[in-house]
Chains A and B, each alone.
Chain A
Amino acid sequence: MRLPTTILLPFLPILTLAADLILQIHPSQHVPNPSLLPPTTHATLHASGPPATAYLTRANTFEFRNLTTGSYLLNVHCRDVVFEGLRVDVGGVGAVGEEEGDEQEEGVKEVGGKEKGELVQVWQTFRGNEWDNKGEVRGVGRGRVAAEVRAVAGKEYYQERSGFSVLSFLKSPMILMALFSLGLIVGMPYLMENMDPETRAEFEEMQKKSPLASANNPAAQLQNFDLASWMAGKSTGADEGENGGSSQVRRR
């Protein structure tokens, strides 16, 4: 059932309560040129049972003709673009009197000359919300009513492969850290050499005092941990022994 349930009304008196709905797609950010939308783009109007379907016309519209009274959910199905859902009420469902009052203010968008048609009201609707939770009015009128359906987003089907790029490689925090430390290692000796003697002395003093350099630094202790001496019960002699050993080497 893909054919539009449109109808020929040649000899029917105009008095018949009939409602036509024309939905228009205007160029927008997501649809710069509606004429390029694929021909399979179509709108469905569902209340219950098989939905009414309208295909996209050359004029970038969907036309539903001879709608019966009811409250419909309108969806537009398109390969390239996501469209908003609309609620279409035909006939005296809901607060008609109120809406008719609004009609005068907003300016009725009537296209045809069918003045004695059913009242058609089109609102934005939000999926997963209560049906009475309506959004902006997209069109109100009697008989032949035009409304706008807006694109919400484009459809991006493909995922790009994150290929190798030098810039993104350099930007990664690991590489940045590595580069920084490399810079320090390479640059430090030059910095030290270029310091004036007083500052250098001060700096060396600071380094000696710093907890990192001292023997009490737990990290240093852990690194130089001598299992054998610890097991032998010599807790403090280890450092001395090692120091002594190295001095011996130097003395040679």
Chain B
Amino acid sequence: MRLHALLSLASLLPSALAVFADDAYHVDYHHALLGLPQQHTSFFQQPYAGSKAALIYTLSDKLVLGAVNPKDGHIVWRQSLASSDAIKSWLRAGQGQDTVVAAVGSHVTAWSAADGRLVWSAESLSGPVQDLEIIEIEDSEVSAGPKDVLVLFNASTPVVSRLDGKTGQVKWSFEDESGDAPLQVLASGAGIHYVSLHTTLLGGLKIKVVSLDQSTGHKTDQYSLSSESDLSSVDSILFVGANSASPILAWTDKFSRALKVNIVGTKSVASLDIEGKDGVGIDTISLHAPLATNSMPHFLVQIQTAQSHWADVYHIDLKRSLISKAYSLPRVAGKGAFATSTVDANVYFTRITADEVTVVSSVSHGILGRWPLKATAVPDLSDQPYPVSAVSEVVSRSGSAQAVRSAVLFSNGEWALIRNGEVTWSRPEALAGVTAAIWAELPETESLADQLEIESHGNILAAYIHRVKRHAGDLQYLPGWLQKLPSRILANFSGGSTRRPLDGLQKDSFGFRKLIVVATEKGRMAALNAGGSGKILWSMDTVPLTAEEKWTPQLRTSSGGAIAVHDQARGLSLLIDAATGKLLPVDPHVNSAFRHPSTGAAVVSYSLAEGEVRAHTPGQENPIPLWRFLPATDESILDITPRPADDPVASIGKVLGDRRVLYKYLNPNLVLVTAVHRTASTLSVYLLDSTSGDVLYTASHSGVDVTRKITSAISENWFTYSYTLDVSSSSLSRGHQLVVAELYESAIPDDRGPLDTAANYSSFQPAAAPGDVAKPHVVSQTFQISEEISKMSVTQTRQGITSRQLLAVLPESNSIVGIPRNVIDPRRPVGRDPTPAEVTEGLVRYSPVVDFDPKWYLNHKREVFGIVGLITSPSLLESTSLIFAYGLDLFGTRVTPSFSFDVLGKDFNKLQMLATVVALFVGVMFVAPLVRRKQINSRWQIT
């Protein structure tokens, strides 16, 4: 049977068109993103003991764990740990270890630092993880091997567990039955401490520290700190130092006037005064301490006010348990970030401000290195970016800092590596999590279109004068064009250099250069140049949001190269120039155009409301539905998919092998509604006419796993949807299925059904003819596919002549596949070989299995994570469709579903063509005299 499947696949192979090896990585572009790195889960670390180069590890706010090469900013490996119950996340790595340990939700996983393989994983039965530490200082009985992990689970009774660093098995657990809220665990030179918060009667919080035996987990000691007078919320606890030689607990009092520091293991609380400078309230106080066990017990307190920031460095006297202020770092206007790094026992603090990078040692205030900071690469239209957080690595020799490299997160979401003040690379992490995207034309093509518009609407004379003027104006480019001509021709013939740099915003003759405007869930907007390898043109914060909010605006193209942004939830309407990102004044009528996004100029607009589809006349404020569509009882509507507004169709019929024609049912108002019955596990599909509300076709599938993704797409005269079969299904097989259906006017070739002779047609009463005659004839087939599809779309070309491809996002294999239409043609003959007539149509025998040929994968070896949407756009070439996929990653490419028939490919060798012409010419020159002599001879010679 597998052989059969392979054979059927092999028969399809000739039609498969893949990414050319030399086009890959040139035609397509990919921003492989992680999300915003968090300060407490980012660090430099050697992937294995003795490795020369360190990698940057981070667990981002999108819960993507990744290793980034600090040399070029490329991702070495990444894993998406996204989990539904994740609130907080941790990432730790032991010194000299080859694993990184991450905790997300209730999962603790260890990953191989060098290659991202899973080492072990553990899930708590007790609840979500509250803290994670690596036990750096081993007790005597455990010899060499991976270091153990200490985890605090926040359950009804908090549990501290020590996990074996090799397997993830629990070595011991300590349950805290006191009912106090767990805070953190500490594994340090002073032993293992479990810190919890005890709520007193008056509402204050008392910090309770329990010492645990490292090898057994038994409680050895317990004491409380009298913090209840000044500690009222968890948020004011600044720092619970982990692996340093002297772990500290630090919190601030209610008014941020004093910093209270306790050295864990002692009961004394030191109170350090924070003097506010220039009388401005202190915004944030943060504490930076080294996390290495052998480092000096020094720490830095950063104080940030609205206008400036400064820092104080404190030393801890371990013998006398005293904390003393060593020195202060001067006040600098604006915001800054500090990073702590250790070299052997020395501690260095790197200070990154908006315009310089300085390195100081924790011992003295002398500046070891100072570098001015050059601006970041991407133009940011919102205010000047400032550093938010940083991790750094210092190379020091003989007391002075030789070099420092810091991975800095800027306020505009750029994550940049700054090496001695220079930005080595910068990753646009702000763009992780795009929720909406739209194509925009380049301003130049737009203006030409506008000019033509003016000409077509004026009177003939005015239009003629306008055109002559325009052409005269274009003449100024002629000398330049002529000047460039020889070099262009030369460049064309010299082969490789035909690829001109595509970074400019000028239009190209193929229409590949378009803009993509994206909106992220964090309220940011940006534009990418689709023709210039997805380069980011501008980026700006558009809407201020809180951390929990997700921005899902609607984007529409507006006139004059502008993009209209509409946010229903906030009642916000913006008009943004796509090329520059500048805000334009909003027209009131542009705003009103938003209310009917799904239909555009259609007569009827519809929306999903209260579990039913309701249609109303566009422009009415509070309309009574023109029609309502309710699915069958107990069914809930999942999604409505309208036929794209711009969906050109080149041929109204399908020519059969015997030259007869099957007429396509082409209705611009088709809407596909998918609905599921949750208890009966059925999927129902309804095809509606959006103008009349008539149901044109229904289908129902039983045994469907309704909790899995059910996606649909509709184009031209066909629609498709996919679903996953359920275990409890009555169906005989398991897996994922793709249904494709085609609509024809009639089942009989050369017949147009009841509309054949009709001169008029009413959208409101398409079924005026009695019975079901006016309903389309539907041919459908189901195919078994190997993977779940999370999103589907269809390629678009300029005139719709090129055959279409079904684009499907495969979330499991992190890829996007372009399925040729002829493979999923529902007219494939079932149970018999195709007749010769059918063979000429390109139909092959039906096989229930459609294997995704690797050649169909648009992303080839790239892996695109977390794709939520897919948009397509026609280019000026009929053969080519542009594709952009967004979500966590951004990926764009162009596809030629019927091969690139209207453009010479890279395999066309111009030099060879020229050589052939020359050779033929030379041949003719040689042969012509011979032939002439022979002709004369044949006339004059007597045989």
A contact set with B: CB distance below 8 Å: 1-8, 10-11, 38-40, 42, 44, 46-50, 54-58, 63, 70-73, 75, 77-79, 85, 87, 125-133, 152, 155-164, 249-250
Contact = CB atoms under 8 A, between A and B. Distances in A.
Contact of A57 (B18, B83, B117, B813): B117
Nearest to A63: B121
27 contacts: A2-B79, A3-B123, A10-B169, A10-B170, A11-B173, A39-B77, A39-B111, A39-B115, A39-B118, A48-B726, A49-B707, A49-B708, A55-B79, A55-B121, A58-B118, A77-B813, A78-B813, A79-B814, A79-B863, A87-B734, A127-B5, A128-B5, A128-B735, A129-B733, A157-B854, A157-B860, A158-B18
A213 B6 CA distance: 55
A50 B726 CA distance: 11
A146 to B, nearest CB: 16
Contacts of A161: 20-22, 905-907
Contacts of A7: 122-123, 125
Contact of B727 (A47, A57, A75, A160): A47
Given A10-B169, A129-B1, A161-B22, A70 B907 contact: no
B707 A48 contact: yes
A229 to B, nearest CB: 23
Contacts of B115: 39
Given A2-B81, A3-B104, A48-B707, A73 B169 contact: no
Interface in B337-388: none
A6 B121 contact: yes
B49 interface: no
A3 B19 contact: no
Nearest to A7: B123
Given A48-B727, A157-B861, A57 B119 contact: yes
Contacts of A4: 107, 109, 118, 121, 123
Nearest to B151: A8
Contact of B860 (A54, A70, A158): A158
Contacts of A49: 705, 707-708
A244 to B, nearest CB: 17
B802 interface: no
Nearest to A46: B724
B112 A58 contact: yes
Contacts of A2: 79-83
Given A3-B81, A156-B854, A79 B861 contact: yes
A6 B366 CA distance: 52
Contact of A48 (B123, B705, B860): B705
A157 B852 CA distance: 11
B867 to A, nearest CB: 14
Given A79-B863, A126-B1, 14 more contacts: A1-B84, A3-B109, A4-B121, A6-B121, A50-B707, A57-B119, A75-B786, A156-B855, A157-B860, A158-B20, A159-B18, A161-B905, A161-B907, A163-B907
B734 A5 contact: no
B909 A164 contact: yes
Nearest to A157: B860
A70 B705 CA distance: 15
A129 B107 CA distance: 36
A214 B116 CA distance: 83
B124 interface: yes
A55 B903 CA distance: 44
Contacts of B21: 158-161
A23 B115 CA distance: 20
B733 A159 contact: no
Contact of B812 (A77, A127, A249): A77
B732 A131 contact: yes
Contact of A1 (B79, B83, B121, B173): B83
A64 to B, nearest CB: 11
B14 to A, nearest CB: 11
B17 A55 contact: no
Nearest to B784: A128
Nearest to A70: B727
A55 B733 contact: no
Contacts of B847: 128
A70 B726 CA distance: 12
Contacts of B19: 157-159
A3 B857 contact: no
Contact of B118 (A38, A55, A77): A55
Nearest to B847: A128
B182 to A, nearest CB: 18
B942 interface: yes
B852 to A, nearest CB: 9
B121 A127 contact: no
B727 A39 contact: no
Interface in B858-880: 860-861, 863
B894 to A, nearest CB: 15
Contact of A75 (B79, B812, B905): B812
Given A6-B121, A8-B124, A130-B733, A39 B168 contact: no
B734 A73 contact: yes
Interface string B842-862: 000001110000110100110
A133 B120 CA distance: 34
B728 interface: yes
A222 to B, nearest CB: 23
A8 B123 contact: yes
Given A75-B812, A77-B787, A129-B1, A5 B123 contact: yes
Contacts of B18: 157-159
Interface centre among A1, A3, A7, A54 (most CB of B within 10 A): A3
A7 B122 CA distance: 5
Contacts of B123: 3-8
A8 B812 contact: no
B2 interface: yes
A77 B118 CA distance: 15
Contacts of A58: 112, 117-119
Interface in B117-137: 117-125
Nearest to B5: A128
Interface string B73-108: 000010111111000000000000000000011010
B778 interface: no
B767 interface: no
B24 interface: yes
Contacts of B905: 161
A158 B814 CA distance: 17
B727 A159 contact: no
Contacts of A54: 118
B217 to A, nearest CB: 12
Contacts of A164: 909, 912
A168 to B, nearest CB: 13
A1 B81 CA distance: 8
Closest 3 CB pairs of A and B: A39-B116, A159-B18, A128-B849
A248 to B, nearest CB: 13
Interface in B160-186: 161, 168-170, 173
B907 A127 contact: no
A89 B278 CA distance: 71
Contact of A3 (B107, B724, B815): B107
Interface in B722-738: 724, 726-728, 732-735
Contacts of A38: 863
Given A2-B82, A39-B79, A162-B907, A130 B20 contact: no
Contacts of A5: 123
B854 A48 contact: no
A72 B112 CA distance: 29
Contact of B17 (A70, A73, A85, A159): A159
Contacts of A3: 81, 83, 104-105, 107, 109, 121, 123
B860 A40 contact: no
Contact of B787 (A75, A87, A132): A75
Contact of A56 (B118, B728, B732, B912): B118
B154 to A, nearest CB: 16
B849 A127 contact: yes
